[in-house]
């Protein structure tokens, strides 16, 4: 069995792994990336990108439905789900090609196959061995199994992107952003959607103020929130039967499990390298993404950190490579200033602390401001789309430590405000900024 030595061996060609590999190579390191699947990981192939394309299709359906209010006599348009899938697949193929070109252009060797540790420095991929002076594990996460009777009958978020036709009746199991996003897409395109929350509120990790508005938004788009949990699945009349803990059942064309993902460490044989896992099976790392074995690192979803977001993995990978091979100082990621967006209808955006988090830490030094309004885009249509904004501030100078938005444009406006908040903006800074009228963003700088 032949063995090659690399300065940096990266297991996983998702967003974090590719970012780290390319950055390390730019510093002159000899780099190998090991990947058995398509390049780009979950985000590019089964997550952010195809999800956003599907969301754009759903938003187009909403625009068509609202066109009459603006004077357009638009006939009811039938959506072709297969056409959307083919166009989406072509774009994902294009991105995979670009990733391959990027690695090749940086002289990163792409090794196809599954890696496992033989010892702390040696990886085995089929009949091949690689020695890494430094090794990065960036294998992401996999779908959490639905462990109830008949749970294997449920589709997953991965399966959503393989559908040729849109199911007319859909059950969505879960209360997080994946369930909310996929449920919203189906509903906007015309499906009947029941979302089984299992006793939780939708988007429970967001500020409660936003959660209240979000429940209303789901109802407006046609997603029926059911507090019940699902206890059993079975084949039903032409589809699937869902049994809830309320001793009721309903039949659907498709059932989707969206109960989260778990770190993808199976088969890596990390024990051979002395790498420690936590109780959830995630790789334990410090704030600089280093394991207890000093030359082995991990970034992204495989670490089980709270912010399982593509830009976080990319930033972590690049900062790690800059430190290891470019002589850059350590730059830990501040977990409290990571912006995130849910592509729902309308979208939800958040950066910083929620009010409960802020009060638990700072008590009465916290002050909040809220606003609810109807955006101008809903002024002429029957089904109004409401919006809401909340600021969380700290201390006498009212430094902004949290911004939470639901409404049209929340996804785009949040990025700029996240920069301002990271730089220490206060409520007065926002108050003295001239608003752009009429926009959703102006509400952020005009709250009394």
Catalytic residue among 27, 205, 345, 437: 437
Question: DSSP string covering 82-123, please?
Answer: HHHHHHHHHHHHHHHHHHHHHHHHTTPEEEES--EEEETTEE
User: Who contacts 334 (Cβ-Cβ below 8 Å, separation ≥6)?
Assistant: 422
CA–CA separation, 323 vs 18, rounded Å? 16
Nearest to 348 by CA among 206, 233, 225: 206
DSSP state of 441: G
C-alpha torsion 17→18→24→28, nearest 10? 140
The alpha carbon dihedral of 58, 206, 312, 309 has a sign of negative
CA angle 394, 403, 195 (to 5 degrees): 130
- The answer to whether 437 is a known catalytic residue is yes
Question: DSSP string covering 344-409, please?
Answer: -SS-EEEEE--HHHHHHHHGGGEEEEEEEE--GGGTTSSS---EEEEEEEETTTTEEEEEEEESTT
CB atoms inside a 10 Å sphere around CB 410: 25
Dig out the tokens for 427 from the structure: 């409520």
Active site residue ranges: 437
């Amino acid at each position: 069995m032949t063995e090659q030595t690399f300065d940096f061996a990266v297991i996983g060609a998702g967003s974090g792994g590719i970012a780290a590999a390319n950055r390390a190579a730019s510093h002159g390191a000899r780099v190998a990336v090991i990947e058995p699947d398509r390049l780009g990981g979950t985000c590019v192939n089964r997550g952010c990108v195809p999800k956003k394309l599907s969301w754009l299709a759903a938003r187009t359906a909403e625009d068509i439905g609202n066109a009459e209010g603006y004077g357009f006599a638009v006939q009811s348009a039938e959506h072709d789900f297969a056409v959307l899938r083919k166009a989406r697949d072509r774009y994902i193929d294009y991105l995979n090609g670009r990733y391959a070109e990027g690695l090749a252009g940086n002289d990163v060797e792409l090794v196809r196959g599954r890696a496992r540790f033989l010892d702390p420095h040696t990886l085995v991929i089929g009949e091949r061995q690689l020695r890494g002076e430094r090794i990065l594990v960036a294998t992401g996460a996999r779908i959490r199994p639905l462990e109830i009777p008949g749970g294997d009958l449920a589709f997953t978020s991965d399966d959503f992107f393989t559908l040729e036709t849109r199911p007319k009746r859909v059950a969505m199991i879960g209360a997080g952003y994946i369930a909310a996003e996929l449920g919203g897409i189906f509903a906007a395109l015309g499906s009947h959607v029941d979302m089984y929350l299992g006793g939780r509120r939708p988007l429970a990790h967001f500020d409660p103020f936003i959660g209240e508005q979000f429940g209303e938004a789901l109802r407006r788009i046609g997603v029926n929130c059911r507090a019940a949990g699902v206890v059993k699945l079975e084949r039903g009349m032409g589809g699937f039967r869902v049994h809830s803990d309320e001793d009721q059942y309903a039949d659907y064309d498709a059932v989707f499990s969206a109960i989260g993902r778990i770190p993808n460490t199976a088969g890596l044989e990390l024990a051979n390298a002395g790498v420690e896992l936590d109780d959830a099976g995630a790789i334990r790392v410090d704030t600089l993404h280093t394991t207890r074995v000093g030359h082995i690192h991990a970034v992204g979803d495989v670490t089980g950190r709270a912010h399982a977001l593509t830009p976080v993995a990319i930033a972590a990978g690049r900062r790690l490579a800059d430190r290891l091979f470019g002589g850059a100082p350590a730059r830990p990621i501040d977990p409290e200033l990571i912006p995130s967006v849910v592509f729902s209808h309308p979208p939800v955006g958040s950066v910083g602390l929620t009010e409960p988090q802020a009060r638990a830490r700072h008590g009465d030094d916290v002050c909040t401001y809220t606003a609810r309004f109807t955006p101008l885009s809903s002024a002429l249509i029957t089904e109004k789309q409401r919006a809401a904004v909340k600021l969380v501030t700290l201390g006498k100078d009212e430094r902004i430590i949290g911004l939470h938005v639901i409404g049209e444009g929340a996804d785009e406006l949040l990025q700029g405000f996240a920069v301002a908040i990271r730089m220490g903006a206060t409520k007065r800074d926002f108050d003295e900024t001239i608003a752009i009228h009429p926009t959703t963003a102006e509400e952020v700088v005009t709250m009394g």
